[in-house]
């Protein structure tokens, strides 16, 4: 079992976020793939960030985080927007979502 933080460009903070989403090893992360793993982060209450999404894709490919450019980056943006549109905040009021996103209340899945 390998630590998530051993994956290039993924550090202790990312590892902690994945742990909250139930993903505890680099092997689990690789088996899920970037899209499914990122969806689990969103479902666990993490705020969506495009940079984090494409960094995850690059990391799982063993590439530097800033290697994502041009058409590849635009294609990932489209996939990212589709993940966000799945509505991981359904059932939350706008105020609750705002407060959670700004760290005023605890992040947790519904």
Structural domain total, the chain: 1
CA atoms of 5 and 12, how far apart (whole Å):
6
Containing structural domain, residue 87: 4-101
Q: For residue 108, is it within any domain? A: no
Tell me, yes or no, whether 106 lies in a domain.
Answer: no
Indicate whether 110 belongs to any domain. no
| Residue 85 pLDDT | 85
Neighbouring CB atoms inside 10 A of 61's CB total 12
The packing angle between helices 34-43 and 12-20, to 10°, is: 70
Residue 61 lies in a domain: yes
Comparing CA positions, the residue from 45, 30, 18, 35 lying closest to residue 105 is: 45
Q: What is the pLDDT along the chain (110 residues), one digit of tens a residue?
A: 999 999 999 999 999 999 999 999 999 999 999 999 999 999 888 889 999 999 999 999 999 999 999 999 999 999 999 988 886 655 556 666 666 666 666 655 44
Q: Is residue 94 one of the residues assigned to a domain?
A: yes
Q: Is the pTM of this model over 0.85?
A: no
């Amino acid at each position: 079992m390998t630590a998530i933080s051993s994956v290039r460009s993924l550090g202790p903070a990312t590892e902690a976020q994945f742990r909250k989403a139930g993903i505890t090893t680099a092997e689990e992360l690789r088996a899920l793939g970037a899209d499914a793993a990122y969806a689990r982060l969103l479902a666990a209450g993490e705020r969506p960030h495009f940079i984090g999404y494409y960094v995850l894709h690059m990391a799982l490919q063993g590439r530097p985080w800033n290697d994502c450019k041009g058409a590849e980056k635009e294609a990932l943006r489209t996939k990212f927007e589709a993940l966000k549109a799945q509505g991981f905040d359904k059932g939350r009021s706008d105020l609750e979502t705002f407060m959670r996103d700004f760290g005023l209340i605890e992040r947790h899945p519904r």
